[in-house]
Homo-oligomer: A and B are copies of this chain.
């Protein structure tokens, strides 16, 4: 089976399928984030019941704790966390830039201090490959340098130069045949630099390509404006992954631009903070207006949370600081994200994605509803 099969296209939006050593998943697809070998507060059974087809794991966190060699000795990340579906791991680069203590970046790699115990660590392109091969993810990412999205041109150019150097070393060092390695196009919102970066990476013939640096600081408007042209820089016959994005509306705009794959902590992090996503905007469950409300979060969701619990109960759980609140809202939010992608896939298949997206965006932004949370 081909790694990626493009099944249908509706304007720029694409319907596809990715085949991995741990099964296939459909695209457009959203990946819930399992940073430390667990999607926070959910069992693998619950993750699966949300409709999850592929998970994301974080190289930076897992190499720090419990250690990728330990995970390998225990049979790999799938077995360790009891998830037998596909897993994508990032390279750790983004976390080195956003989480680590003092760091020193050279062409050789990144030296940084662990945010857990302050230990001095080292992440070279080769090390990033080794770690992900130890974890045994189905899709691995090359190490890249992530400058802030609003960085000036010289900074962006320097980061792209180094990222290209690292991508080549990652490609050369990679050896697992049951793992596909994706390249990452950087360049911020500067289309010239993005183009140069993509033009250098595409001939290296990676099985998939990602757009990096879009979750790091631009305004959503700047990202939305840049996305169609950036996505067009990536090969059409390979999966395209927009890293670390985003809100439901960002996913729709990404799909419209021809993106296939997304990940974001938003559904789980928001769930832990009592924020629920619905097709008509967000609900803040700590708000006292939910205290006596027997209605479910939404009428159009069949997740475990919406099927069995009232807003009043969820409000109570968050008021009483009960763990079940974050669990139930994470279940709902992941289900919401995955349903949105499922609806997008159906719309693409039926060549009505533009209408679907317009209606969905309109509902999400209805002012009367925006005020409801």
Which residues of A line the B interface, CB within 8 A?
Answer: 36-38, 40-46, 61, 65-66, 70, 73-75, 80-82, 291-292, 294, 304, 308-310, 312-313, 315-317, 319-320, 322-324, 326-328
Distance A66 CA – B310 CA, assembled complex (angstroms): 13
Contact A312/B38 with A73-B292, A324-B43 known, Cβ cut-off 8 Å: no
Closest to A316 in B: B66
> Smallest distance from the beta carbon of A320 to chain B beta carbons, Å?
5
Which B residues lie within 8 Å of A81 (CB)?
Answer: 313
- Picked from B41, B42, B82, B309, the residue with its CB within 8 Å of the CB of A309 is B82
Contact A43/B292 with A313-B80, A316-B65 known, Cβ cut-off 8 Å: no
Closest to A45 in B: B304
Which B residues lie within 8 Å of A40 (CB)?
Answer: 322-324
- Sort A-B residue pairs by CB-CB distance and give the 5 closest, nearest first: A41-B323, A82-B308, A66-B316, A38-B324, A36-B320
> Smallest distance from the beta carbon of A372 to chain B beta carbons, Å?
21
> Smallest distance from the beta carbon of A59 to chain B beta carbons, Å?
15
Which B residues lie within 8 Å of A66 (CB)?
Answer: 291, 312, 315-316, 319
Report the copy number of this chain in the oligomer. 2
Q: Which of A37, A38, A65, A82 has the most CB of B within 10 A?
A: A38
> Smallest distance from the beta carbon of A189 to chain B beta carbons, Å?
35
Given contact pairs A38-B317, A74-B292, A323-B327, a sample of 14 additional A-B residue pairs in the complex whose CB atoms are under 8 Å apart = A37-B317, A40-B323, A41-B323, A41-B324, A41-B327, A42-B324, A43-B46, A66-B316, A74-B294, A74-B310, A74-B312, A80-B310, A80-B316, A82-B313
Is B308 in contact with A44, judged by CB distance below 8 angstroms?
A: yes
Is A316 in contact with B37, judged by CB distance below 8 angstroms?
A: yes
Is A70 in contact with B292, judged by CB distance below 8 angstroms?
A: yes
Closest to A81 in B: B313
- Picked from B65, B73, B292, B319, the residue with its CB within 8 Å of the CB of A65 is B319
Which B residues lie within 8 Å of A308 (CB)?
Answer: 44, 82
> Smallest distance from the beta carbon of A365 to chain B beta carbons, Å?
32
> Smallest distance from the beta carbon of A36 to chain B beta carbons, Å?
5
Distance A77 CA – B41 CA, assembled complex (angstroms): 24
Distance A81 CA – B81 CA, assembled complex (angstroms): 29
Which B residues lie within 8 Å of A80 (CB)?
Answer: 310, 312-313, 316
Is B70 in contact with A313, judged by CB distance below 8 angstroms?
A: no
> Smallest distance from the beta carbon of A324 to chain B beta carbons, Å?
5
Distance A47 CA – B323 CA, assembled complex (angstroms): 14
